Amino acid sequence: MQTQKIAIAIVDDHTLFRQGLAHLLTESNEIEVIFDAGDGAEMIRKLPMQPLPDVILMDITMPVMDGYESTRWIKQNYPQIKVLALSMFEEDVPIINMLKSGAGGYMLKQAKAADLINAIKTIEKQTFFINDLVSGKLLNNIQNNLPVKTSKIQVSANELKFLELCCSDLTYKEIADMMNLSPFTINNYREALFEKFETKSRTGLVISALKCDLIKL
């Protein structure tokens, strides 16, 4: 029996990129590209014209209506559609802001087609897609639909406040100022949390804390 294809839409302001991506994904025989759009406004116009996609691949930086606004609109109007953010660079703040807007994960545009297809399949099934910035243990729990065990992850009140502030646009120095602590102390919190959550980035900390239900975006 043939497996039902995952319906997606691609929203990106670079025409050649989205057309090339559509061609690559269609060749997999697992993905059906319903439509593509150059920005969020065009996406809104096209959505009622065909069956709704299961997943939208969403660029972050676009004219007229960017990825943040477009993702918030999707989550307000079609919460059942999953959003996978597409990023040129592995930068913490844009990715965290996309997660705050409602995206369930992100992928670098430089990723291999097979990795992107895996991300689409994962986010369609599990709602979240977590990349290798987050611990393999956490990823395994998510992919196998197992509960995330938080009992062994103990964080102090200051560490929890630090995690909450990591969701903002603040730099580490600004976080230190806001918490009335030295940058050295903040660096110690960061390194301790990296070890606790088995991750190496600010984005990884935020996603891990989200999945452990320690913070809310």
Tracing tokens 């302001």 back to the chain, one arrives at: 13
CA distance 69 to 11: 12
Alpha carbon of residue 99 to chain centroid: 5
Domains 6-129 and 132-217 alike in fold: yes
With a cut of 60, say whether residue 113 has pLDDT above it.
yes
Contact call for residues 125 and 106 (beta carbons, < 8 A): no
Alpha carbon of residue 55 to chain centroid: 12
Domain boundaries, the chain: 6-129, 132-217
The CATH code that applies to domain 6-129 is: 3.40.50.2300
- Tokens representing 75 are 């989550």
pTM (global) more than 0.95: no
CA distance 187 to 68: 29
What are the pLDDT digits (tens) for 4-50? Answer: 899 999 999 999 999 999 999 988 889 999 999 999 999 999 999 98
What are the pLDDT digits (tens) for 148-204? Answer: 444 467 888 999 999 989 888 889 999 999 999 999 999 999 999 988 888 888 877
- Tokens representing 99 are 């997660």
CA distance 189 to 177: 14
With a cut of 80, say whether residue 118 has pLDDT above it.
yes
What three-state secondary structure class fits 129?
coil
CA distance 203 to 206: 5
Q: What is the DSSP string of 111-155?
A: S-HHHHHHHHHHHHHHS----TTS-HHHHHHHHTTPPPP-TT---
The class of domain 132-217 in CATH terms is: alpha beta
- Tokens representing 32 are 């059906």
**pLDDT tier for residue 141 given thresholds of 50, 70 and 90:** very low
CA distance 55 to 127: 10
